[in-house]
Structure 1
Amino acid sequence: MATPKVTLKLLINKKTNKVLFAEAGKDFVDFLFTLLSFPLGTVIKLLSKNRMVGCLGNLYQSIEELGDAFFQPKIGKATVLNPKIPFRPSGSTLLLSDGGEDGIGSTTRKFYLCPSYHKNVADNPRAKCPQCSSKMRLEFSFLKAPPAADEANSEEGGFVKGVITYMVMDNLEVKPMSTISSITMLNKFNVQEVGALEEKVIELGMDEGLNLLKASLQSQTVLTNVFLGA
């Protein structure tokens, strides 16, 4: 399946070669907000160990190399190396596969019943039914009910509403965009000539998403660093 793309419009000061701000839709803002929900283990896995700042990459690798015998039976190293993301917005998040094939962000849980189908549920097949003492080894699936028709039409998914355009600053501050806010930003950056400004429309895929994630941990000028190489 092709990697989904997210569109972003940059306003660039050609004299300083810096991004003043970006005009963004719901999809990009949802992506930025999703970054805050990532556990550290997911961040390290996405960036790969050798791209991490400081010692976290070393810690991650040492856990990978540590034998399973050192971990608690019900925990395991996967709990740390491949943690579950508590909330995944619907639609593209650039860095997470929709089907969870990469193992990142998967929140699938298994549940079990006893052979006598008593009204008890466990999330561990070794648990025993309190009524018949049999192991709860019969696996069953948890089905999420589809939304009602009116909910499906009104529910956008994700974090923010898509009815407005958002302004994303070079340091990733997010605010609603308006004509007044745009003028205020131009005055703040002391832009005297409109001819010094340039609009640039870009598409973000997996690579750009990873670069944004990495730059957000290191820089206060993320958009400039990632898209202008400055």
Structure 2
Amino acid sequence: MAKSTKFSLKLLVDEKRNKVVLAEASQDFVDVLYGLLTLPMGTIARLLEKHQKLPQVLCCYKNLNKSVADVVVDDFETEACKSMLMYPKSTKEIHCRRLKLNIDDTTATKFFVCSNVHSCKSYSNFSTSRCKCGYSMVHQVQVPEEEQCVDGLFVSCRSSFIITDDLKVRFNSIDGIVEVVSGLGYSCLSDLREMLADVGFDEVFTLLANVFTSESPLTCAFLRKHCVTRMDKPLSPVLTTGRVEQATRCYVKVFVRKLDRKIIYAECSEDFVDSLLTFLVFPLELAASFSNDNTILGCVRNLCRGGCRRELDYRSLPHYYTCSKKLLDIHSYPSQAYECKVSQCYPFLCDYELSRWIDRSLVGKNERVVTVSPIDPKKSISGTPTIGVDDIGFVKRQTKFIVSDDLTITPMNKFSTIGLLKKMEINMKDIEAQSICIHKAELINILSASLTSSSALTNGLSYLLAKEPKKET
């Protein structure tokens, strides 16, 4: 994608208030906006940091990214686990690659098989995976884009569009413009000035960054208006109701500073860490949907509600991101089986092309069609080509971790607790330990806090902390 790609955006501006009232945009630009909703949160944080536009509120995601990079491969179940978290994949990556302006630089998904593909009938999206036969899956096979993506882009029809400052998108029409402008209190268009804005990579990155900090991202991005970053604030906690299944919980021990009730660190097992790392792979739309605070990422919600979007499954994750013990009800994209032709004379040659369906009339006399299914790359040696019910996740089982308030994760076997306490100069009498049970609601609270806060554990779990007993006088 050429970095010189530009769109022209017509803005209707209130000069007195230095505010964008609405924008008139092409289908190509709206496709780009909808494409942002499909980007994994880890990718968003990495790209914004790379382009020096990362807002402070996303520092938790920056720390999660850095934690994955810093943790050695041996502390993950497989090498593929580290790869899939460092560069998260989206189920809509091919849609995004077809955009006229695609900001995601993540490498396209690849497909690998072992030399026994004719009998193992398995593939992986990671070259470091081992097949169920024990051989490495290092032979890359081709899957044409049209075989992976049968839909168009994100906009449902050809049109131009109007976009409000808080990213409500609708089809362009005279009555639509009148409705929006009059609804904002303007009686005459002569009170507003038209201006043209060129939109390229830098402007899209700026717009994306402002989505996390402002309710007027168009104004902030195109009028260069200073937008005040949302400050950390207590969240209205999600409360669980009804019976909670035993398998959907885990325990953490938090260390609380008595002075201000701030959670300094948490000690936890691999299940809690797996859940936190999953935050990185959530598409922006999915992450925003978990928030129970309507003021958080309201612009994202407005984009999601746009009636001109194509009906697609936007919120599912690639199948290999599913962990066996999951606290959140996340749906994975159905794993895709493919067919390939293999030579019965030379079955070990791996110059195959995978396809959803092969016309049997095109199969030669010395060829046969084999159906290959994906393995779970989180397993060292997969027993079956489908995800099983074993205790499997991203990081090694039976491992203890330290998680900071801003979601920096460190394995305890690589962590000096004594060094930490000395570095923070904590008065031993000023901290206390509390055990907290984490269910779905608690994880949602941490996720919500991580989107707008640098104190995800404190803001997400403070309502569970036992009150400090009153001191006798």
- Mark yes or no: TM-score above 0.5: yes
Structure 1 contact 113–121 (Cα < 8 Å) conserved: no
Find the counterpart in structure 2 of residue 135 from structure 1. Answer: 135
Secondary structure in 1 aligned to 2:81?
coil
Per-residue displacement from partner, 1:2-60 (whole Å, max 9, x unpaired)?
31222211111122221111111111111111111111110111111872414222232
1:71 Cα deviation (Å)?
A: 1.3
Residue-pair matches, total: 212
For 2:163, the equivalent position in structure 1 comes to 168
Alignment correspondent of 1:81? 86
Q: Which residue of 1 aligns with 2:200?
A: 205
Structure 1 equivalent of residue 111 of structure 2: 109
Equivalent position of 2:404 in the other structure: none
**Match of 2:181?**
186
Say what the alpha-carbon RMSD is for the aligned residues: 2.7
Q: 1:5 to 1:187 in 2, by over 3 A?
A: same
C-alpha distance in structure 2 between counterparts of 1:75 and 1:145, whole Å = 23
- Matched residue, 1:218: 213
SS of the aligned residue for 1:110 comes to strand
Q: 1:138 to 1:73 in 2, by over 3 A?
A: closer
Q: How many Å separate the matches in 1 of 2:197 and 2:30? A: 15
| Alpha-carbon distance, 1:194 to partner | 3.1
Identify the residue that residue 92 of structure 1 maps to in structure 2.
100
Query: Does the CA contact (< 8 Å) of 1:45 and 1:81 recur in 2?
Result: no
Question: For residues 194-221 of structure 1, what are the alpha-carbon distances to aligned partners after superposition, in whole Å with 9 as ceiling and x for unaligned?
Answer: 3321111212111111111100111110
Q: Which residue of 1 aligns with 2:446?
A: none
Change (3 A) 1:33 1:105: farther
Given the alignment, which residue of 48, 56, 64 partners 2:61?
56
In structure 1, the gaps of 5 or more residues are 97-101, 148-154
User: How far did residue 105 of structure 1 move?
Assistant: 5.5
Q: Unpaired segments of 5 or more residues in structure 2?
A: 226-473
1:69 aligns with 2:74: yes
Q: Per the alignment, in what secondary structure is the counterpart of residue 77 of structure 1? A: helix
Give me the whole-angstrom Cα distance separating, in 1, the residues matched to 2:164 and 2:103: 21
Once the two structures are aligned, what percentage of the paired residues are identical? 28
TM-score (norm 2): 0.41
Tell me: CA distance 1:201–1:156, structure 2 relative to 1, closer, same or farther (3 Å). farther
Shift of 1:145: 7.3
Matched position secondary structure for 1:190: coil
Counterparts of 1:195 and 1:213 in 2: how far apart (Å)? 30
Cα distance, 1:189–1:105 mapped onto 2, change above 3 Å: farther
When the two structures are superposed, what TM-score results if normalisation uses the length of structure 1?
0.80
CA distance in 2, matches of 1:163, 1:229: 30
Counterpart position of 2:243: none
Change (3 A) 1:8 1:145: closer
Q: Provide closer, same or farther for how the CA distance between residues 202 and 107 of structure 1 changes in structure 2, counting only shifts above 3 A.
A: same
CA offset at residue 144 of structure 1?
2.1
- Where does residue 48 of structure 2 map in the other structure? 47
Name whichever of 2-11 and 167-176 sits farther off: 2-11
Change in 2 beyond 3 A, CA 1:42/1:199: same
SS in 2 for 1:48: helix
Q: Does 1:126 align with 2:134?
A: no
- Equivalent position SS for 1:212: helix
Deviation at 1:61, TM superposition (A): 1.9
The one-letter code sitting in structure 2 at the alignment partner of 1:106 is: A
- Structure 1 stretches of 4+ moved >3 Å: 134-138
Contact 1:91–1:157, Cα closer than 8 Å, also in 2: no
Secondary structure of the 1:185 match is helix
Preserved contact between residue 171 and residue 223 of structure 1 (Cα < 8 Å)? yes
Distance in 2 of aligned mates of 1:143 and 1:194: 52
